Amino acid sequence: MLWETLKAARDLGRIHDIASIMIRYGFGDIVRRLGMSRFLEQAGKVLRWKDAGAMARMGSPERTRRAFEEMGPTFVKLGQILATRVDLFSPEWIREFEKLQDQVLPLPFEELRPQLTEDLAAAPEDIFAHLETDALAAGSIAQVHRAQLASGEPVILKIRRPGIQPIIEADLRLLARLAEIAQHEIPELRRFHPADVVRQVTQSLRRELDLANEGRNAERLAASFSDDPAISIPKVYWDWTSERMNVQEYIDGIPGRKVSAIKEAGLDPSVLAVRGANAVLKMVLEDGFFHADPHPGNLFYLPNNHIVFIDTGMIGRLSELRRAQVIDLLRGLVAKDTALVIDVILNWANDVQINAENLAIDIDTFLDNFYGLALKQLNLATMLTDLTVIMRDHELAMPSDLALLLKVFITLEGLGRQLDPNFNMVAEATPFVKRAMLARYQPAALAKRSWRNFAEIMDILSNLPRDIRRLLTSARRGALQFNVNISRLDRFAHELDRAASRLTVGMVTSALIIGTSIVSTIEGGPTLLGLPILGLLGFAGAGLGGLWLVVSIWRSGRNNIT
């Protein structure tokens, strides 16, 4: 307990900053329910909240986005992760989260020099023939400078901001604690799975803090496309790359955002759309290791319709099982196979209690909208977006790796149609799905799965005597326990207790009425306004008891309706 208190105390200043921003943007109720203001009061902190009236005209999505921007890099990253959770948030929230740009003013180069000198084990001027002190780009975690090696090769230096890691680690501790509290104290936030989202943010940020990890990602992707001359990844210079600095090849091409410059350079937009889509589909469906942020800002176009993917800090990973599920989903959507789509969604739902019959009706209606359409008329982004709406309606959340993939598919189709209005993602994905299905049922693949299943069965059988012995030993020691979880048992007990209370009050009220009636017939004794005082008191008590019963029954009926 003492250690937890000390850990909370070291983050007290950051708690004050976050709570202040949240209250200024109109989230005072959440701050109160999370216990943040109470913690600050107990610590003796005097809060001076700013007036939040100016924020009343903003909608909740915009206020949340602005609050995240003020809270700093950890919360900007949180918003960027939430922008991928189209399975949890409606389009207006996603649009606001997508506006979160990791753009900040760059630090003066002289503030970077001590760390840079330490990482290079020499003065920067001794390593690089030329180094631009003005930043090419800047984010909350790192900033980029152009340079030239002694050999004449142009490079970029991605340098982590000094002192950023302790700030982010403090924010991650607070986020983890707030997610835990929100999970238990704010029921309406549970459907957003705050603990899972914070876990995803933590993993993503810690990977991005290690700039050498970005280099490893780049090399793995480059190896995957070593036989494809149309796709490349910038070269990493490992002699000078470390946790706090990444040195990569400088790419001088047409940025993906400058669509108008593509035709002027003699490139073919339709070829670029197909090649980019095929590259990402290969990463996802064949490699299970993909660039998770393929927006136009992370693409460069070179002569001969060559595509370069940059910024490999955010990477998605899919296990073999996940890839099989994604392929089944795509196959079910294209073939309008309701049963297959439902099977995949139920696999993702795990132990969540849902109405499978209603889900089947919604999926069947959804697929009917695309019945009879030719392959080239199907819009994968629309289909996936509509599918996520159904999942939100049934309060189903995708696993985080699949939510990231879903966002990639939607972004990719939008990028393809921006380059070529006739681009069709379904048509490009279909050959990959067919190849994956053929590969799944090849003799070698079937033999591999059969051997794996056989090995698992043998492992279970070989461990069976030991497991039985442990079970019997626990039973003899009286340590064997069975936990039975009966749904709504607490509510049932509450209803039973309330019914017993009503019955008791009803019996007492009846007894008062009968007893008072008998007492009132006896002459003598004190009176008030000609009536026996004891009789008046008895009838008053019976009246209060009857009134309580009426109010209790009425309130119970209203609660059942709502």
Per-residue pLDDT tens digits for 502-534: 677 677 777 767 776 666 666 666 666 666 666
CB of 37 within 8 A of CB of 31? yes
CA 307 to chain centre: 30
Query: How does 109-146 read in b/e, with b if 16+ C-beta sit within 10 Å?
Result: beebeebbeebbeeebeebbeebeeebeebbbbbbbbb
User: What string of DSSP letters covers 379-420?
Assistant: -HHHHHHHHHHHHHHTT----HHHHHHHHHHHHHHHHHHHH-
CA 494 to chain centre: 35
Provide the pLDDT for residue 381.
77
**Separation of alpha carbons 250 and 235, rounded Å:** 9
**Separation of alpha carbons 504 and 105, rounded Å:** 71
Helix (H, G, I), strand (E, B) or coil at 46: coil
Provide the pLDDT for residue 110.
93
Contacts 24+ apart (CB under 8 A), 152-157: 153/249, 154/249, 154/250, 154/252, 155/128, 155/237, 155/247, 155/248, 155/249, 155/250, 156/247, 156/248, 156/249, 156/250, 157/116, 157/131, 157/245, 157/246, 157/247
What is the average pLDDT score of the chain? 79
559 falls in which pLDDT band (50, 70, 90)?
A: low
β-sheet bridge partners, residue 146: 156
Residue that wins the pLDDT comparison between 553 and 77: 77
Picking from 129, 120, 333, 153, the residue whose alpha carbon sits closest to that of residue 236 is: 153
Please report which helix (H) or strand (E) contains residue 129, including its range. strand 128-131
Query: Above 70 in pLDDT, residue 382?
Result: yes
**Separation of alpha carbons 358 and 366, rounded Å:** 12
Picking from 122, 330, 134, 345, the residue whose alpha carbon sits closest to that of residue 239 is: 122
CB of 512 within 8 A of CB of 541? yes
Helix, strand, coil percent content, the chain, rounded in steps of 5: 65, 10, 25
Q: How many CB atoms lie within 10 A of CB 154?
A: 13
Window from 7-21, 172-186, 399-413 with minimum mean pLDDT: 7-21
Residue 322 token pair: 């996940």
Provide the pLDDT for residue 327.
86
Each residue of 71-91: pLDDT tens digit?
A: 888 888 888 888 877 777 888
Each residue of 157-174: pLDDT tens digit?
A: 999 999 888 888 888 888
Work out the percent of the chain whose per-residue pLDDT is above 90. Answer: 22
114 falls in which pLDDT band (50, 70, 90)?
A: very high
β-sheet bridge partners, residue 315: 291
351 falls in which pLDDT band (50, 70, 90)?
A: low
CB of 203 within 8 A of CB of 282? no
CB of 497 within 8 A of CB of 490? no
For residue 512, give every residue at least 6 positions away whose Cβ sits within 8 Å of its Cβ, in sequence order, or none: 538, 539, 541, 542, 545
**Separation of alpha carbons 355 and 362, rounded Å:** 11
Query: Above 80 in pLDDT, residue 489?
Result: no
Residue 478, by phi and psi: left (phi above 0), alpha (psi -120 to 50) or beta?
Answer: left
Cα 6 to Cα 9, 170, 178, 520: the distances in Å are 5, 13, 17, 70
Most distant pair of Cα atoms in the chain: their distance: 121
CB of 330 within 8 A of CB of 372? no
Query: Above 90 in pLDDT, residue 387?
Result: no
**Separation of alpha carbons 387 and 364, rounded Å:** 11
pTM above 0.75, yes or no: no
Provide the pLDDT for residue 562.
47
53 falls in which pLDDT band (50, 70, 90)?
A: very low
Query: Above 70 in pLDDT, residue 95?
Result: yes
40 falls in which pLDDT band (50, 70, 90)?
A: very low
Each residue of 125-138: pLDDT tens digit?
A: 999 999 999 999 88
**Separation of alpha carbons 560 and 541, rounded Å:** 29
**Separation of alpha carbons 229 and 303, rounded Å:** 12
CB of 66 within 8 A of CB of 101? no
Provide the pLDDT for residue 451.
81
For residue 539, give every residue at least 6 positions away whose Cβ sits within 8 Å of its Cβ, in sequence order, or none: 512, 513, 516
CA angle 196, 200, 202 (to 5 degrees): 115
Helix (H, G, I), strand (E, B) or coil at 211: helix
